[in-house]
Amino acid sequence: MELPLRPEIVQSLKAGDEVLLNGYVYTARDQTHLRLIKDIGKKKLPFDLHGQTIYYTGPTPAPRGKKIGSCGPTTSGRMDAFTPALLKAGIKGMIGKGRRSEEVRQAIKRHKAVYFLAIAGAGAYLSKKIAEAKPVLYKDLGAEAVYRLKVRDFPVVVGIDSKGRSIYK
Amino acid sequence: MRKINAEKIREAVARLAIEANLILRKDVLRALKRAYSKERSRRAKKVLKALVENAAIASSEGIPICQDTGIATVFLDIGQDVAITGGDLNKAVNKGIAEGYKRGFLRKSVVSDPLSRVNTRDNTPAVIHTKIVPGGKIKITVAPKGFGSENKSVTGMFKPTDGADKIGRFILEAVKKAGPDACPPYIVGVGIGGTLDKACILAKEALLRPIDKRNPRHHIAGLERALLKKINGLNIGPMGLGGRATCLGLNIEVYPTHIAGLPVCVSISCHATRSAAVTL
C-alpha cells in the first residue's frame, strides 16, 4: 500500500486488516507533538502535514553502515491529547502501539483517517523495513526529532478504521 | 581487604549496558519460543515469530532489541571486604553507562529534570541500588527498562488481613490495565512486604530472576504459578490482539513487613525484559 494514503484506500480499510506500507512516514512522539501543536499555522514547516502518516517512534542512533537503529512503535495513548488537532491539520494516518482514547476514535472517524498498529517491541525487526532515515525538524530533540523515514513493506494492522471501528473492544 | 579499581567497574558497566540491550536473556527467549509453539491463534503466532526473529536480528546485527533502551537501573552487590580504589563508585557507574550507550548506539532517553525535561545526551544518571553483602566480590547487574511498561507499574498499600486473594486480584487488574499498551506478552515482577520503597525495589529485583525459576518459598511459588495461569486466561495476547501468551513469567519476591500493613508493588515489564550481570 502506497504512502501518502489515498482517501479511497483509507476508507476501504477495516479494523483488523493486515497491510504492508510503502513510502514516506514522519516520526513524532511526546515533545514533538507539543511543539507541532504550537507551530502549526504559525511557523512554516519543512514538509506539508496534509495527507501524511505519522509514526510514533524514537529510533536508536544508526550504527556504522546502517540507515537506522532499532525503530519500533511507542505507546500511542500518550499522544491522544494532541491527536485531534493534528488530524484537523490534515494528517491521515498514525502508526503506534496500544489503545487510543474515545476522543481520538471519534476524531479518526470525523476526519476519515486511520490508526495502524505496528509490532510492539520489535524494533530490530522493523528497522529492516526502513530504507532511508533523515532528520527534518526539531533536530535539537535528539531521538525525539522528526525523521522522514522511507518504509518498505512495513507490516501493520489496522487498529481503528475510518468508520471509527476499533480492533480493541 | 580486596581492592577493585573503579575503572574495572566502569568498563564492566559499559559492556553490560550493551550486552543487555542487544542480547535477549536466554530465559526470556526460551519462553518466547515456547509461547510460539503453544499458541493457537494465527495472528498471535505470527507476532511471536516476529519477536523471536527480532531477538535474532538484534544479536546478529548489533541493533538494540527495542528502540527504548531505557533508563539504566544498576544493582551493585558489594562485598564488605572490598575496597574500591582509583575513583568515585557512582561516577564510575555513570561513566560506564555513558560509554556503553555511546559505543553501543543506544538511545539516550534520560532528561536531567522531570519538569524542565532537557535530555542529558548520554543517558545518565542511572538509578543505582547499592547493597553491602558478605565477601570480597562485587556483583554488577545492569537492567535497562523501557518506559512503555514502567508507566503501567503500580503500587498498593493493603490491609494486613487482605491476604493473597486480594493481592492476586490487584496484580490481575494491573495487567488488565496495561492491556495491549505495554508490549505483551509481559513479564511481571511483584514485590510484597517491607515498606512502600522496599516493595518497589523487590518488584524490580523479581524481574532479574530467571522466569523459569520459582520462589524457594513453597506458598509463594504456588501463588506465582496460579497468577501466571490466571493472567494467561485474560486473552490479551501478543500486541493485545488476543491469544494465550499474555504473560511469559511472573516472579514474586517477599520481605518481612509491619503488623499494620501489606505493601505491594507490581512492576509490569515487556517481552523484552532485559538485564546482564557480572561478578568482579
**pLDDT by 10-residue block (mean), chain A, 169 residues:** 95 98 97 94 89 97 94 97 96 97 98 98 98 94 92 98 95
* Residues from chain A contacting residue B179 (CB–CB below 8 Å): 98-99, 168
Specify the long-range contacts of residues B231-237, CB closer than 8 Å, at least 24 apart: B231/B171, B231/B172, B231/B175, B231/B186, B231/B188, B234/B172, B234/B175, B234/B176, B236/B175, B236/B176, B236/B179, B236/B180, B236/B184, B237/B41, B237/B44, B237/B184, B237/B185
- Bridge partners for A130 per DSSP: A151
* C-alpha span between B224 and B214 (Å, rounded): 7
The C-alpha angle with vertex B219 and arms to B217 and B223, in degrees rounded to 5, equals 115
Q: Does B81 touch chain A (CB under 8 A)?
A: no
Interface A-B, measured as beta-carbon pairs within 8 A, has a size of 126
State how far residue A58 is from chain B, nearest Cα, in angstroms.
Answer: 7
A69–B64: do the CB atoms touch at under 8 Å?
Answer: yes
Catalytic residue among A33, A92, A99, A105: A33
Residue B117 and residue B107: Cα distance in Å, rounded? 16
**A50 catalytic, yes or no?**
no
Give the count of beta carbons closer than 10 Å to the beta carbon of residue B139.
16
- What pLDDT does A143 receive? 84
Please say whether the beta carbons of A83 and A107 come within 8 A. yes
Cα(A105)–Cα(B71) distance, integer angstroms: 32
How is chain A split into domains, by residue range?
7-160
The residue whose grid cell reads 542511572 is B126
**Considering CB atoms only, which of A61, A72, A143 is closest to B66?**
A72
Q: What is the pLDDT, as a whole number, of residue A169?
A: 76
* B68/B273 Cα distance (integer angstroms): 11
Nearest to B58 among A98, A124, A142 (CB): A124
> Positive or negative, the Cα torsion across B31, B255, B145, B62?
negative
ipTM over 0.90 threshold: yes
B183 contacts on A by Cβ (under 8 Å): 97, 120-121
Mutation site, B18, B23, B63, interface A, largest A CB count within 10 A: B63
Give whole-number Cα distances, B269 to A130, B34, B222, B247, in Å.
Answer: 27, 18, 21, 10
Domain parsing of chain B, residue ranges = 2-21+65-145, 148-273
Which residues of A fall below an 8 Å CB-CB distance to B? Answer: 31, 57-63, 66, 69-72, 74-75, 77, 97-99, 117, 119-125, 127-128, 141-143, 155, 157, 167-168
Each of the 280 residues of chain B gets a pLDDT tens digit; together they read: 899 999 999 999 999 999 999 999 999 999 999 999 999 999 999 999 999 999 999 999 999 999 999 999 999 999 999 999 999 999 999 999 999 999 999 999 999 999 999 999 999 999 999 999 999 999 999 999 999 999 999 999 999 999 999 999 999 999 999 999 999 999 999 999 999 999 999 999 999 999 999 999 999 999 999 999 999 999 999 999 999 999 999 999 999 999 999 999 999 999 999 999 999 9
Q: For residues A21 and A41, is the Cβ–Cβ distance under 8 A? A: no
Residues of A in contact with B106 (CB under 8 A): 60-61
Contacts of B54 in chain A (CB under 8 A): 119, 121-125
Cβ distance of A123 and B240 shorter than 8 Å: no
- pLDDT, residue A41, reads 85
Looking at domain A7-160, does it have CATH number 3.20.130.10? yes
